[in-house]
Amino acid sequence: MKIIEITSLQNELVKYCTKLQNSKFRKNEKLILVDGAQTIDGFVDEGIVFKYLFLKKENPLVKKAKVQNLVFVNDEILKKISTTQSPTDVVGIINEPLIDINIYKNLSKIALIDGIKDAGNLGTIIRSAAAFSIDGIILFNDCVDLYNTKVIRATAQNIFKLPVIKINDISFIKELKRNHALISTVVNSKKDFFDVEIKDKFIIAFGSEAFGISKEIADLSDEKVTFFMDNNVESLNLAICASVAFAFIKHKNKI
């Protein structure tokens, strides 16, 4: 472990860390910026290795975290490099995980999220997927940045507990369909989601908050189902729908 001490906002490493707040720059660097004590505490408990960890010398994480470069900084620098509105006492940088897309061919329970835009919704879906034993998630079409700090915080430290990949090519979904049933949730089906037959290997698809499932996914679907609701409730939040579906699938698989 290398120990670095920085006191100036003009330090090149501080400038570099600040650039990681830009999604395009972060993706090019294949790094993840995480901030906030609760989030980083959770990652430390999970044994995640940090490329850089920025904090003050008295922070107890100094003795707990697995880190390649431990960087001692002051409050001014922490405020500069953090994305949170309220002051934070620790900021970390993690290498983006390398995920082989081909592992999805061997997964049984896959969630496909089509064009999701809201960071909080995506984070909650990932958290629920981990809680109810979904094997992997595919983000399809134009989605919110997976490693947006708001997404990471919404996962409640569960973002690395299952593989999540981003694809734009429908051909990979077609390839998965050789062995997986594709079940799409839509707003106007005559079949209730709770009557669906859950195959051994499946992809359960959820559309964007505003537009639902894309035509590409709809046209490929083996089944289209709707969450029938009582009391004239017209719709549910996307993350709630996904969470309900994941819990139901786990329960049904036990029967």
Q: What is the CATH number of the domain that holds 37?
A: 3.30.1330.30
How far are the Cα atoms of 124, 177, 194 from residue 181, in angstroms, in the given order?
24, 6, 16
Q: Which of 52, 79, 95 finishes a domain?
A: 95
> Is the CB of residue 164 less than 8 Å from the CB of residue 139?
yes
> Is the CB of residue 78 less than 8 Å from the CB of residue 89?
yes
- pLDDT, one tens digit per residue, over 81-129 is 999 878 789 999 999 999 999 999 999 999 999 999 999 999 999 999 9
Please indicate, yes or no, whether residues 139 and 120 belong to a single structural domain of this protein.
Answer: yes
- Tally of structural domains, the chain: 2
Model-wide pTM > 0.85: yes
Please indicate, yes or no, whether residues 89 and 161 belong to a single structural domain of this protein.
Answer: no
Q: Looking at residues 179-183, what average pLDDT do you find?
A: 96
How far are the Cα atoms of 29, 39, 56, 77, 168 from residue 36, in angstroms, in the given order?
21, 6, 13, 14, 32
Query: How many CA atoms lie less than 13 Å away from 54 in the CB half-sphere?
Result: 27
- pLDDT, one tens digit per residue, over 184-234 is 999 888 999 999 888 889 999 999 988 899 999 999 999 999 999 888 887
Residue 255 has pLDDT above 80, yes or no: no
Boundaries of domain holding 88: 2-95
Q: Report the mean per-residue pLDDT for the chain.
A: 94
